[in-house]
Homo-oligomer: A and B are copies of this chain.
Amino acid sequence: MALDHAILVSLTERAASGYDLARRFDASIGYFWPASHQQIYKVLARMQEAGWVESTLQEQDGRPDKKTYAITPAGEAELDRWAAQPTEREALRSDFAVKLRAFRDAEALLADTRARRAAHAERLAEYEASEARFYPDPSALEGPDLGSWLALRGGILGERQGIAWCDEILTALEGRGSR
């Protein structure tokens, strides 16, 4: 019941087709809530049945027809209801942490950690570029823009934390085993 709200939030910003949403979820919102197009179509159909969104068919030439979804008053009400209740703590499920605890293959762990560090650094660079481009003056932000920036800040802090963890692991492993 959580992809529902991510889609509704996206639709408040602009009406969109399933295809459009899938592309949006490859960036922006998708950083915090990844979703495949199949999943999105499924949820859109369910939400239409519930009356939270409505669709209009648009014919296009040269391209397949398009179903554009817009949020309804009932959908807005649902968003309000959702926004008012507290978020439950999301449980972290880290395959990597379990692998650390297992400590079966120091070489593989080392290679894995280096790869993860690189992935974090890459993602961090994207986030920081976004911040510089879209939020040059954070103190001036208000409303949804402020929220988006704060969400992005969470991403930035998360990636930095990931890098710091990897560095601790690398220091510990390189300082001991293979030298």
Give min CB distance, A38 to chain B, whole Å. 16
Q: Give the complex CA separation of A5 and B101 in angstroms.
A: 11
Flag whether A115 is at the interface (Cβ < 8 A).
yes
Give min CB distance, A90 to chain B, whole Å. 6
Contacts of A82 in B (CB 8 A): 99
Contacts of A57 in B (CB 8 A): none
Give min CB distance, A154 to chain B, whole Å. 5
Q: Give the complex CA separation of A129 and B172 in angstroms.
A: 21
Contacts of A168 in B (CB 8 A): 150, 153, 157
Contacts of A87 in B (CB 8 A): 95-96, 99, 112, 116
Flag whether A143 is at the interface (Cβ < 8 A).
yes
Instruction: Count copies of this chain in the complex.
Output: 2
- Verify B90–A96 contact, CB threshold 8 A: yes
Number of residues on chain A facing chain B (CB within 8 A): 66
Flag whether A97 is at the interface (Cβ < 8 A).
yes
Flag whether A98 is at the interface (Cβ < 8 A).
yes
- Verify A102–B147 contact, CB threshold 8 A: yes
- Verify B86–A115 contact, CB threshold 8 A: yes
- Verify A104–B88 contact, CB threshold 8 A: no
Given contacts A104-B83, A111-B86, contact A98 B6 (CB under 8 A): yes
A residues with CB within 8 A of B = 2, 5-6, 9, 12, 29, 31-34, 79-80, 82-105, 108-109, 111-112, 115-116, 119, 138, 141-144, 146-148, 150-151, 153-155, 157-158, 160-161, 164-165, 168-169, 172, 176
